Amino acid sequence: MQTSPVLPARGAPARSLHRFANPGRFLRISGRVLPFLSAAALVLTLAGLGAGLFLAPADWQQGDAVRIMYVHVPSAWLASFGYVALAVCSLLSLVWRHPLADLAAAEISPVGAGFTALCLATGSIWGKPMWGAWWVWDARLTSVLVLFFLYLGHVALVRAFDDPQRGYRAGAILALVGVVNLPIIKFSVDWWNTLHQPASIGLTGSPTMHFDMLWPLAVAALGYTLAFMAIVIARTRAAVLERRIHGLLMARAEAVR
């Protein structure tokens, strides 16, 4: 008897995506990964900061004031990196109804806001001896401040509705619209005459920073990145468990009626 070939069902990529985002599987995998991720983040962050503060040479112009970059630059990197992750989760939520995307986005935004606030604070501290002012309405600084407000707007929108799905949807739309600010942050020092110095590390050229200053910065940035991931994973795990507990309590309340 001749049989017709089995064809993949429509929407198979989306179902595969959902399979890898199963909350139970996420809890199992993240539970194994999180301790190692946290330990690596702690070791690399301390190593990078220690080397930057005590081993790296001072800058010939800025002196020891340059050492704040080992906190400022990784924070600035994570401010943008976190928003990219937020936008990706928002896209997965709106287009593919990814089971964990909404929860992950809701946990990314406060963490991203924290790193952006750290970036702004350390930038102001660095700017005072260099520019003579705590704050100037520089294109780079202003666009990063806008990024901070976008994070806060997402945090507020997600929690502004009685229906969580409406909040997640509104937050996702805001996150995707706010992506236009990222290239402004990146290229503001090239497009406008700003006080902020150009990037010392680029994809197309050699770094303008001495290696003795570059490697502690790279180690610190990697440690910060792993810390960001560990915090978001831990918060998302807590959100998944909270949703499960809420579901069990609701089911028990329905059974009692």
Domain ranges of the chain: 27-57+67-197+214-256
What are the φ/ψ torsions at residue 191 (nearest 5 degrees)? -80, -30
Residue for token digits 């406008």? Answer: 192
The whole-angstrom distance between residue 249's C-alpha and the CA centroid of its chain comes to: 32
- d(CA 110, CA 131) in angstroms, rounded, equals 30
Question: What is the rounded distance in angstroms from the CA atom of residue 78 to the CA atom of residue 142?
Answer: 17
Residue 186: pLDDT band with limits 50, 70, 90: confident
CA distance 100 to 4: 36
For the cut 70, the answer to whether the pLDDT of residue 205 exceeds it is no
At 175, is the pLDDT very low, low, confident or very high (cuts 50, 70, 90)?
very high
Confidence check: pLDDT of 96 > 90: no
Q: With bands split at pLDDT 50, 70 and 90, how would you rate the model's confidence at 7?
A: very low
Q: What is the pTM of this model?
A: 0.85
